[in-house]
Chains A and B, each alone.
Chain A
């Protein structure tokens, strides 16, 4: 298998690496770029644990070829508290006990962030729709939905 170069920004940082041709973005991030915040729960697009944001859109990194992200801007949960200040979503999840084992959490946060980036004041239905591709086996969805809505409220308070 041929090795190919890929270049993109990861959480605002320019990255250029050689990867095996055909490597998924999930494996490229975890094995080559040292960002293990996206998790592999199924490797087949059914659990959402690998969710990342590519050029502003939510993507399943296990179903995305790294080579298709050439030049893209990629965001993961590992980059969310850059500068040490937690994002309102991270705060709200901690305050609302909206995580237990934590395995789904980075993907869940990316799905919620993609929502809030586009829809700063979402309805409960918007939140449910936004996280509908993310499986959480431990926490139950109610605390997660409540945390996303709380984060949206604190966001708009900060803005206002």
Chain B
């Protein structure tokens, strides 16, 4: 590693002791000897296994559920349905007042995506649980489904989720998040060129090496210990407390080394039902996703559609940027209303644009619920923004790196969200990138600074 000390040299005392030093990772001795303890590296006497019966339909009403054959299957201890769950409809971010509660722990009247949990089977072996799950009979009335966000927003689209009429998240600002800055129409009117492009992304699965899961033991005093690989211990504790209507001190959540998460383990999905199963059976319960469940059932990164309309001058100045962003939450909110809002806060990117208009929507479809993944809400936004920047540079015949220097934000610039820019370092990063990548730019760009504009 190389530290380039010439940048911001007057702002720094050269008393850094750790940066630039290589230090052994404290967890590596455990990893290389196989001693690191992951949640599933435990066995308990009498351990039982939970398997989930899931909807085979994207959208359907449930007419009836018959668990009688499953209950008779050898090895089965208990079959759980919605009526066993004390507070069956929840949403993770209710903890920070992002409601409404919109998702079932176990579906009762309706399923809204293919894979939605309906019935949980607990048995003495994984195999018995699997076989019994196959004997649960559910009678569905299949409903029309919608998989495209713009289709879902049409007035006659099927209603994905009764808690979100119109198939969009109802923010306190209305059907979307919005940012208005300057005069967008005046910006487009003065522009030498206007470029409008639409960008689409697919859902992306985090695909951790270790699948999502937990093991729960009843402690014998109406307390439960839950060994989990959650990335969000307190979300899990508090949501489980709400769902099971149990005070938090009854729940002992034990984390540890997570075998990869990437955002895929922040939802509260396996723990509440496994703890409930342990409570109702008084046995230790293991609920671990199969690889297929990890890939198909756990929330992926949301699909997004982003429409960028930009006005640019021949001299390289961006004078107008209009963004319309759609985030596909799938059937339930999980973290997506927050992701869509993050997008609104992130545009127009690290550039100073005098006239900005941003609308971002969180849309419900009959797809697998999406949630967190590495920079959700901004990663796909940046993909769209930076591809657009290259296209704009090409449109006016300018070097794409020089084009970014011209528009880069600097300290003191007022952002579209009415916040002054502080601590910007884009110019300096691009100067170094220009050097390292051997992509020369004109000397005037190498003389720029994030700390102020040249006279």
Contact = CB atoms under 8 A, between A and B. Distances in A.
A78 B34 contact: yes
B411 to A, nearest CB: 35
A39 B41 CA distance: 9
Interface string A83-112: 000100110011001011111111001000
Give the interface centre of A43, A46, A102, A106 by most chain B CB atoms within 10 Å: A102
A44 B30 CA distance: 26
Contacts of B40: 40
Interface stretch (B92-100, B215-223, B257-265): B257-265
Contacts of B34: 35-38, 76-78, 80, 105-106
A74 interface: no
Contacts of B37: 36
Contact of B260 (A30, A46, A101): A101
B222 to A, nearest CB: 28
A46 B25 contact: no
A3 B81 CA distance: 33
A66 interface: no
B32 interface: yes
Contacts of A133: none
B29 to A, nearest CB: 7
A47 interface: yes
B27 interface: yes
A77 B210 CA distance: 18
**Chain A's interface: helix, strand, loop or mixed, by majority?**
loop
A10 B38 CA distance: 21
Contact of B33 (A44, A47, A90): A90
B209 interface: yes
A145 interface: no
Interface string A143-160: 000000000000000000
B164 to A, nearest CB: 33
B85 interface: no
A38 to B, nearest CB: 8
Contact of A46 (B28, B32, B257, B291): B291
B109 interface: no
Contacts of A109: 32
A1 to B, nearest CB: 8
Give the interface centre of B32, B33, B207, B260 by most chain A CB atoms within 10 Å: B32
B31 to A, nearest CB: 3
Nearest to A48: B209
A26 B144 CA distance: 43
A137 B260 contact: yes
Nearest to A81: B33
B209 A41 contact: yes
B211 A102 contact: no
Interface in B19-53: 24-25, 27-38, 40-41, 43
Contact of B31 (A38, A47, A86, A99): A99
Contacts of B30: 102
Nearest to A78: B34
Contacts of A31: 43
A101 B209 contact: yes
B208 interface: yes
Contacts of A93: 28, 31-32
A101 B258 contact: yes
A128 interface: no
A41 B213 CA distance: 12
Given A43-B290, A47-B291, A90-B33, 7 more contacts: A31-B43, A35-B34, A36-B34, A93-B28, A93-B32, A94-B29, A101-B257
16 contacts: A30-B43, A39-B209, A40-B40, A47-B209, A78-B33, A78-B34, A81-B33, A99-B28, A102-B27, A103-B38, A103-B210, A105-B34, A106-B34, A137-B207, A137-B208, A137-B209
Interface of B: 24-25, 27-38, 40-41, 43, 125, 207-211, 257-260, 262, 290-291
